[in-house]
Amino acid sequence: MFIAKAAFCDEVSVVLDSVVPLSPSIDPRMRVFNMEQTAIFASMAPHSTVDEVNARVVPALTAGADSQRIAMTVLVRADGLVLPPHFVFKGQPGGTVEKEVQAYVPHPVATCSVQENAWFDERVMLEWIDMSFRPNVCGYSVLLLDTLKTHKMQSVQDELGGMGTSVHYVPPGCTGITQPLDVGVMAPLKKHMSQNCAHAAVLNGLPENSVERRRYMFDQAMVVLQRVTADTVRNAFQKVGVTGSIK
């Protein structure tokens, strides 16, 4: 595992070392990105009790709303920047759900797609590249991805390669020590999400219908993303070592 990690970091460092002389005035960390998808559920409260000031202790809400979810990308840059997320809602292109969510997803602060299972298939990955990644990348870049099947599709590789992005896949079984997001960002982000949802459930209860739940999940995710600090992101990249040779 650690040998695979070292080889991966060396691979990325070699690419960065070849790029730095081309634009010496640009911080090389601004060229290194990591993206990961995560599921957001309508009820992400912990299976415990929550005690609010001046409120009774209540059990976490884990009823049928648990089965309703959306997907979200977390995209970060090695200099600490958290980039706009891309959301995937369960629905059909051109359908009522797509029209509904497009009305409140504030492009370019966030972008969105719809898919029948609210997940990233080939079409959604290409939409993510076009709507979310491409507008936030200038010139040559390095993108770190896990080995999810969708990430390795030829159409996805071709689209990224065509815009000057060198894709590097985190070795299987090594994401916990090699992918910056898994090393230092996702755990605190999910903890914040769980706490946020628990507090919201105590104060307001869960939304009762699918339309309200979609908006609720989106709003909660946007709030929590703002709590991811630049230091947290930078430290995650540094801990992995993919930016260790950058001066």
Q: Tell me the pTM.
A: 0.88
The whole-number pLDDT of residue 25 equals 78
Whole-angstrom distance, CA of residue 216 vs CA of residue 41: 10
List strand residue ranges (DSSP E) for 78-152, in order.
86-90, 111-115, 141-145
The whole-number pLDDT of residue 57 equals 39
Whole-angstrom distance, CA of residue 104 vs CA of residue 235: 33
Q: Is residue 247 part of a domain?
A: no
Q: Is residue 153 part of a domain?
A: yes
Number of domains comprising the chain:
1
Q: Is residue 246 part of a domain?
A: no
Q: Is residue 172 part of a domain?
A: yes
Query: pLDDT tier at 246 (50, 70, 90 boundaries)?
Result: low
Q: Is residue 245 part of a domain?
A: no
**pLDDT tens for each residue of 25-47:** 788 899 999 999 999 988 765 54
Q: Looking at residues 177-206, what average pLDDT do you find? A: 88
Mean of all residue pLDDT scores within the chain: 87
Using DSSP, state whether 113 is helix, strand or coil.
strand
Q: Is residue 56 part of a domain?
A: yes
Query: pLDDT tier at 63 (50, 70, 90 boundaries)?
Result: very low
Which range marks the domain in which residue 56 is found? 2-240
CATH number reported for the structural domain that contains residue 27 in this entry: 3.30.420.10
Q: Is residue 103 part of a domain?
A: yes
**pLDDT tens for each residue of 76-106:** 999 999 999 999 999 999 999 999 999 999 9
Q: What is the DSSP string of 171-236?
A: PTT-HHHH-HHHHHTHHHHHHHHHHHHHHHHHHH---SSHHHHHHHHHHHHHHHHTT--HHHHHHH
**pLDDT tens for each residue of 102-132:** 999 998 899 999 999 999 999 999 999 999 9
Please tell me the number of Cα atoms within 13 Å of 76 on its side-chain side.
Answer: 27
**Does 51 or 33 have the greater pLDDT score?**
33
The whole-number pLDDT of residue 26 equals 84
Using DSSP, state whether 163 is helix, strand or coil.
coil
